[in-house]
Amino acid sequence: MTEENATLRDLNQQRKVGTESRGMRSDNGEDEISLENLTVWVHLQVQPNPVFEGDTLTLQCSAVNHTLSQVKFYKDGKFLNFSVDNSPLSIKSATVRNSGNYSCSGKMMHFEQASKPVMIEVQELFQTPVLSSVLPPYFQEGRPLVLRCQTKLHPQKLDLWSFYSFYKDGHVMQNRSHNPILHIPEIKERDSGLYQCVVATEDGLIQKQSQQLEIQVQVPVSHPAVTLRHEATNPAVGDKVEFLCEAQRGSLPIFYSFYLDGEILGDSLASADRVASLLISVRSEWSAQNYSCEAKNNVSRERSEPKKFPLVVLSAWTNSKRSIAWTLGSLLGGIVLATVFLIHFFRPCKKDARPEELPTEAQDNHIYATVKKPSKKPQLGEISTNDLGPAAPPAKSPLVSDDRIPC
């Protein structure tokens, strides 16, 4: 077994040569020699005491009235360092992680002896800082932001100068100031992020950082705009139309509501692009009514300007049925009128009807003459006055029947 792997258990068995006679084995393996009424202690000296963060911790192994050599140092039972001539062990800029049980061992008069374990606790100069908001944890755009980095100094180090730094998403907001307060007079949405503070000593050897604090700046919703999407210029009853509502700014989530003349049509949650939609069937009573939408989040709510809904027409199927009915009605009415007209126009006169007879006076005033066609061209003076006389009445036309006379 090498010297570096020697355990404290073996060393502790050799630590004390006491008032009782006990044997100790020399390096050459010879039997033990008796030492009575002689106490030999190996001591571990620690400087400074107490030890604070940033101090140089010095460990020295010594023996009363004896010189030690080949000294080994241990922490929590594990080998830490070896020195042939018993040089002190220095730990620069000690931290809390250097706390633990320390011991040492060394050779004295050809015998190896071990010290008692010494508990070394490195004292904190100041506690780990805590970052908090001075104002309530509700951050609205336009309001101030005040963050405090709070720590506590050790009672023996109250005169210590501490330096405070503030970071947002890893970027410096305030660097090495004695002021533990970060103040932003008017926060914007861009000020949202993860904040952290760091407390350091003047030489910067000891630095401690706080936990991250998330700041989410709440932005009021902007004035929304409402639009209507449909295919036809005038939607028909039963057609699907889509209401769209959009607020350009505002912290998510944003909730939207759609209204028609003050009556709510439906609700919707905005997507990542801040637009919400509502798909719904048209009703006849919507014609020329006002529609609008409302946007709200955890900060505020806003209503859009109202717009007029287009005139609602009957559905295509209803229009078709009415058109067919009107066409059929028109045709039927035309046929009836035409039939009546034809019957009236072509109605025959009565069978016994005769043309209206002229009065007697009118008959007496008529002169009838018979004109004979000469066989040859008469000569002047051959016409006799006897040839002139009352004319015979004209003969009836064989084409006209006594039974039926046209009207």
Amino acid at residue number 60: Q
**What is the model's pLDDT at position 174?**
95
Which residue ranges of the chain lie beneath pLDDT 70? Answer: 1-40, 137, 231-232, 314-329, 333, 338, 340-341, 344-407
pTM above 0.75, yes or no: no
**What is the model's pLDDT at position 313?**
78
Q: Hey, how many other C-beta atoms are within 10 angstroms of the C-beta on 266? A: 14
Handedness of CA 402, 403, 404, 405 (dihedral sign): positive
Handedness of CA 71, 74, 78, 80 (dihedral sign): negative
Preceding amide of 374 cis, omega within 30: no
Check residue 186 and report its DSSP letter: S
**What is the model's pLDDT at position 272?**
74
**What is the model's pLDDT at position 109?**
78
As given in the structure block, the two tokens for residue 47 are 């400087």
Distance of CA 78 to the CA centre of its chain: 55
Structural domains of the chain ordered from first start: 8-123 (2.60.40.10), 130-215 (2.60.40.10), 225-308 (2.60.40.10)
**What is the model's pLDDT at position 32?**
38
Helix (H) or strand (E) holding 308: strand 307-308
**What is the model's pLDDT at position 208?**
96
**What is the model's pLDDT at position 345?**
63
Q: For strand 122-123 and strand 51-52, is the pairing parallel, antiparallel, or unpaired?
A: parallel
CA distances to 144, 192, 216, 254, 264 from 137, in Å: 12, 13, 9, 20, 34
